[in-house]
């Protein structure tokens, strides 16, 4: 286990002293919209990965007991996340350019490219913010 304040995590071991910032967007998605949400994120795959300071993305589908999807992203800093939110993420949710899945919007409401944009797949969105203070990875060897 890696102790607080020490990040022997790849691929950024040189940043030992700087904790990552985690953003989790909790999206309320009705059952009938799940497939649409997942398709919209899949269609935008690859765009957020080129954002400065981006470290990780996962879209987590609920298995039971909730209609909340979790959109997990990890960023080098709060500033990097805010830069993405004010630029590429806003453009993606307006249906401009390449778009990017991630933790900022209302559930993959990107445009269809055929005039009218589809309605958002999510009916609600809450953004949680965390700082990484401890983490572990599989032992090598």
Cα–Cα dist 137/74, whole Å:
16
Rounded to whole angstroms, how far apart are CA atoms 64 and 72? 19
Residue 133 CA to residue 96 CA, distance in Å, equals 36
Q: For the whole prediction, is pTM greater than 0.75?
A: no
pLDDT at 12: 52
Per-residue model confidence (pLDDT) at position 96 = 53
Mind listing the domains of the chain with CATH numbers? Answer: 21-95+122-131 (3.30.70.100)
Peptide bond into 11 cis (omega under 30): yes
Residue 108 burial class via C-beta count within 10 angstroms: exposed 0-12, middle 13-18, buried 19 and up: buried
Q: How far apart are CA 130 and CA 55, in angstroms?
A: 14
pLDDT of amino acid 91: 67
Task: Quick: pLDDT tens for 51-93.
Answer: 999 999 999 999 999 999 999 999 999 999 999 989 877 766 6
pLDDT at 7: 46
Tokens of 59: 């879209």
DSSP assignment string, 15-31 = GTTS--EEEEEEEE--G
């Amino acid at each position: 286990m890696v102790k607080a304040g020490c990040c022997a995590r790849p691929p950024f071991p040189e940043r030992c002293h700087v904790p990552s910032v985690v953003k989790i967007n909790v999206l309320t998605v009705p059952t009938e919209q799940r497939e649409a949400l997942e398709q919209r994120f899949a269609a935008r795959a690859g765009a957020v990965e080129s954002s400065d300071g981006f470290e990780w993305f996962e879209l987590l589908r609920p298995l039971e007991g909730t209609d909340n999807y979790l959109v997990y992203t990890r960023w080098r800093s709060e500033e990097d996340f805010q830069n993405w939110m004010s630029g590429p993420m806003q453009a993606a949710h307006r249906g401009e350019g390449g778009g990017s899945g991630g933790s900022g919007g209302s559930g993959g409401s990107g445009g269809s490219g055929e005039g009218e944009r589809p309605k958002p797949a999510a009916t609600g969105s809450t953004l949680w913010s965390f700082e990484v203070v401890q983490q572990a990875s599989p032992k090598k060897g």
